[in-house]
Structure 1
Amino acid sequence: MTFTHATPTTTSGRKVNIALWALQVLLAAAFLLAACTKFIAYPDAVEAFDQIGLGVWFMYFIGAVELSGAVGLLVPALSGLAGLGLTALLAGAVVTQILLFDPVTVITPAAYLVPVTLVAWGRRQHTVKLLRRSNREA
């Protein structure tokens, strides 16, 4: 059996990949939980969406986006796109929290925005490959 010496770049890349996967799994669990609160019509979620003024249909829509993002984070080819989509979702949540709710509530979506953006950036090569493949097939 032959062993090859790993270059620092390879070792560094492997560590980043492992860290991103750990982050993606944790974020997927968090977004799955968030989606569940909407799908079971948790009273706090219903109340929040009533305050937004878009009704229960929007709550279910956001739950579906969160669920899709959670699944996408766990699929290598979709992980960058899922990170990008969740970044957009959380940016909207930050703006909504600032404009319609107590400003302190912005802490939660803002805190999730940072790691989701890191995943979107760290997995950007997956997004580029997916878009190139999509353009070739179109």
Structure 2
Amino acid sequence: MRILGYILLVVLAGVFVMTGYNKVVGADMMVQTFDSFSYPKWTMYLIGGVELLSAVGLLIPRSRVLASGALTFILIGAVGSHLIYGQYGAIPFPAVLLVANIVVLIVSLRQMEDTDIEAVQA
């Protein structure tokens, strides 16, 4: 089960490397999406950078909670933006990523709790 969890983390991190990279390099699709939201272009670069850093953070146990939390907020914004601007066909992808990040966040928080409990008992 642990191996499957790590494989899923690597896949999730890979998705954020791709989406973050596309934002940082200003891929046409990302520019069009941010323009359709009337968001300043710098927000695309900022979000892309956070996605890239968080992708790495997902793979490091000590930073996993922070990385997953940051990505969860970004994904809430993505789903909300697509809802507000009526881009309903674009919602499933960030929604699935949002659920996956929430699962990672919950599992990581529980692992931290277990570690803290073990440290107190020792």
TM-score range normalised by the length of the shorter chain: 0.7 to 0.9
TM-score, normalised relative to structure 1: 0.75
Aligned to 2:28: 43
* Mapped pair 1:72 → 2:57: yes
Residue equivalent to 1:4: none
**Residues 107 and 97 of structure 1, relative CA distance in 2, 3 Å threshold:** same
Instruction: Return the alpha-carbon distance in structure 2 between the equivalents of residues 119 and 82 of structure 1.
Output: 10
Paired letter, 2:82: Q
Which position in structure 2 is the counterpart of 1:135? none
Tell me the secondary structure at the aligned position of residue 91 of structure 2: helix
Name the CA distance, whole Å, in 2 between partners of 1:67 and 1:126. 24
Q: C-alpha displacement at 1:29, in angstroms?
A: 0.4
Cα-to-partner distance string for 1:32-53 (whole Å, 9 max, x where unaligned): 0001111221111111111221
Q: Distance in 2 between matches of 1:108 and 1:20?
A: 20
User: Which aligned segments of 4 or more residues in structure 1 are displaced greater than 4 angstroms?
Assistant: 125-129
Identity of aligned residues (%): 32
Aligned pairs, how many? Answer: 114
The TM-score with structure 2 as length reference comes to: 0.84
Unaligned runs of 5+ in 2: 115-122
2:9 matched to 1:24? yes
Q: Are 2:87 and 1:83 equivalent residues in the alignment?
A: no
